[in-house]
Amino acid sequence: MDSPEGRSDAEREAQRLSRRSVLRGAAGAGAAGIAASALAFTSAPAFAAATRPARPAGGETKDAEATGQIIVHVRDVSTGEIDVFRGTSQTRVHDRELAARLTRASR
């Protein structure tokens, strides 16, 4: 059934595409030598959400996929460990230069 990571083939494909998008985006920002890795989530639901309801009209919850937004979490500036969240995917990249630039931008 599900893989050790608890992910289906379709989700792994989405993860791969998502990772590629991040790499492309990072390259466009001038980052070099970026390394990315998929994560294993022990706390993920046994099956990832298979369906999503239509968004509520006037509701109070949006998801980032519907709005096209990407959320970035710099986990460790010194190692350049960054989590990139988009839709229902999470991609971990390692890019010290990007982490440093984001840190500078946040000050």
Binding site for another protein (CB under 8 A): 1-2, 8, 41-65, 67, 69-71, 73, 85-90
Listed as own residue / partner, the contacts of 43-47 with beta carbons closer than 8 Å and 24 or more positions apart are 44/5, 44/6, 44/7, 45/6, 46/2, 46/6, 47/2, 47/6, 47/8
What is the helix (H) or strand (E) element at residue 85, kind and residue range?
A: strand 81-86
- The distance of closest approach from Cβ of residue 106 to another protein in the complex, given in angstroms and rounded to an integer, is 15
CB of 69 to another protein, least distance (A): 6
Choice between 65 and 97, CB closer to another protein: 65
Q: Closer CB to another protein, residue 24 or residue 55?
A: 55
Nearer to another protein, 34 or 84 (CB): 84
